[in-house]
Amino acid sequence: MIDGSPRILIVRLSAIGDCLHAVPVLVALREKNPQACIGWAIEEAAHALLEGHPLVDRFHIFPRRAFKRRTGTLVERLGRLDAFRREVREARYDVALDLQGLTKSGLVAWWSGAARRVGFAGKESREINRFFVTTRIQPPDEAVHVVEKNLSLLRPLDIAPPRSPRWVLPDYSKEREELEPFLSQNNLGPGSECKAFVLINPGATWVTKRWSAELFGQVARRLVREHDVAVVATWADDEEKRAAETIVNGAGKSAWIAPSTNLRQLAALTSQARLFVGNDSGPLHLAVALGVPCVSVFGASDPLRNGPYGAMHRIQAAGPDCQPCWKKTCARKDMACLDSVTPDRVVESCAGLLERGGHDR
C-alpha cells in the first residue's frame, strides 16, 4: 500500500518498444497516486521519444556508454556511473519498480535506496536480478503479453491492473508542424480534403524479424489499387531506406518515401496514418501507443507476448514448429516463419481494418 505523496521510480532502461510497453504502468500509477513524484530511469534513445511526458516528474538518463571502452578511460566511465547512482539515490524514492528484470536494472533499483523494490520472479527475472529486489512477483498465467506482465508488478502496491491498459505520450505538435510541408506537398493526412495513407515500416533490429521489402511492396501495390489509399514507407538507416525504396517502387503510384525523421517526428507522422504495417519493432509499438490500427508480421519473436496489444490490431505469423525461436539467425536457414506469410494474408488483414474507418487518436 502506498498513500499520500509517494516517490516512485520506474526502471525500464531500453529498448524503444519495451519502454512503450511500460507506459501503461506509468498511467496506472499516476491515476492511483495523482500527488506522487514519479521518476523513470531510462536510456538516452528511449528518453528522446518520451522526453516531456506529462506524467513523469523526472527522468534519470542511464549512462549506457559507460560500459563501452571507447567512450573514455575506466575512471571516466566509472565516474559517469557514480554520478548517475548519486542522482538516483538523492531523489529519495520510496518504491522502485523494475520492469526489465536484468542485472543492470536491478542495480539501478538498488542504487535508488528505495525500501521497496518490486521485480519479477521466474523466467522474467534474468541474470542475477533477483538479488536486488525485495519483492518478487510471478505474473499470473493469464498475463501472457508483456504489457500484462508489467502491470502485474502493481499488485504489491494495491493497484489492480486495469482491464483496458492506456497509453499517454508527450505532445508531438511541434514535430507535426515540422512534417507539414511533406504532408501538404503530397496531399496526405487524415483530413477529408487529403488522401488517407498507410505507413509501412520494413525495419527491425533482427534479420529474423524482417519480412522482405519485395513482399511489402506487393502489399503496398494492392492497397493503393484496391483501397484508394496512399503509402508512405519509413526508414531509419541506409539499409532501411533501400527497403523503403523497394516498397515505393513496388507500389507503382501514390507512394512516397518518408523524409528522414527522428523518433518524435516518426511519432508525429505515424499519428496521421490510417493504418500501420510492419514487423516486430519499436515503430510498431509506437503506432499501438498512438492508437493507430496495426497489421504486423512476426518471425522469430512471440506475437502472443510481444504483438501489438489490443483487439484493434491484426497479426500475421506462419507458426512453424520452431516459432518463436527468439534467435537473431535462423537455425533452419530457410526463414520459414517469415517466408510462409503471404501478401494475400497481410492485405486481407489490412482490408478488414481499413473498412472499419478511422481510429482514436
Cα radius of gyration rounded to whole Å, the chain: 21
Same fold, 7-157 and 174-354: yes
Of residues 73 and 154, more confidently modeled: 154
Q: Under 8 Å CB-to-CB from 167, ≥6 apart: which residues?
A: 20, 23, 24, 27, 288, 289, 290, 291
CA dist 113 and 26 (Å) reads: 20
Residue type, 220: A
> DSSP of 259-301, one letter per residue?
PP--HHHHHHHHHT-SEEEEESSHHHHHHHHTT--EEEEESSS
Convert the pLDDT of each residue in 8-42 to its tens digit. Answer: 999 999 999 999 999 999 999 999 999 999 999 99
Query: What are the extents of the domains in the chain?
Result: 7-157, 174-354
Convert the pLDDT of each residue in 257-306 to its tens digit. Answer: 999 999 999 999 999 999 999 999 999 999 999 999 999 999 999 999 99
Q: Under 8 Å CB-to-CB from 18, ≥6 apart: which residues?
A: 12, 100, 146
Convert the pLDDT of each residue in 116-127 to its tens digit. Answer: 999 999 999 999
Note whether 24 and 153 are within 8 A (CB): no
Note whether 299 and 209 are within 8 A (CB): yes
Give the residue from 143, 167, 158 showing the smallest Cα distance to 50: 167
Q: At what angle do helices 103-111 and 74-90 cross, to 10 degrees?
A: 50
Q: Does the N-terminal peptide bond of residue 15 adopt cis geometry, omega within 30 degrees of 0?
A: yes
Q: Which three cell numbers stand for residue 80?
A: 559517469
> Which class is 174-354 in CATH?
alpha beta
- Following CA atoms 342, 347, 348, 352 in sequence, which dihedral angle do they give, to the nearest 10 degrees? 150
User: Binning pLDDT at 50, 70 and 90, where does residue 3 land?
Assistant: low
Domain covering 7-157 in this structure, CATH number: 3.40.50.2000
